Structure 1
Amino acid sequence: MFFVLSKVLWVVTAPTNLLVGLALAGALASLAGRRWGARLAFGAVLALLLCGALPVGRLMLRPLEDRFPQPPLDGPPPAGIIVLGGAIDQVIGAARGQVTVPDAATRLTAGAALSRRFPGALLVYTGGSNALLSEVGDEAADAKRLWVDLGVDPDRVLLERASRNTEENAHLTRDLVHPKPGQRWILVTSAYHMPRSVGLFRAAGFDVVPDPVDYRSTGTARDLAPTSDLGAGLRRLDVAAREWIGLLAYRASGRIAEVFPAP
Structure 2
Amino acid sequence: MSLGDEHDGQTRTRLPEGNTGDPYGAPRRPATRSTRSLAVAVGVVVLLIAAIAFANRGNDTPAGSAAPRGGGNDTPAGSAAPTAATGTRPVTGKNGTIAAGFAHDEQGAQSAAANYAVALVSADILKPDRRGDIVRAVFAGKTATEMEAKLDKAYSKTFLDKLGLDEQGNAAAGMTYVSRTAPVGTKVTGYSADKAAVEVWCTGVFGTAGVSSTNPVTNDWFTMTFDLRWTGEDWKVDSFSQKEGPAPVNTDRTASDADAIAKAVQEFGGFTYAR
Report the TM-score range of the alignment, normalised by the length of the smaller protein. under 0.3
Q: TM-score, normalised by structure 2?
A: 0.24
User: RCO (CA 8 Å, sep 6+): is it higher in 1 or 2?
Assistant: 1
Select the structure that is richer in helix.
1
Rg comparison, structure with higher value: 1
Larger strand percent: 2
TM score, norm. by length of structure 1: 0.25
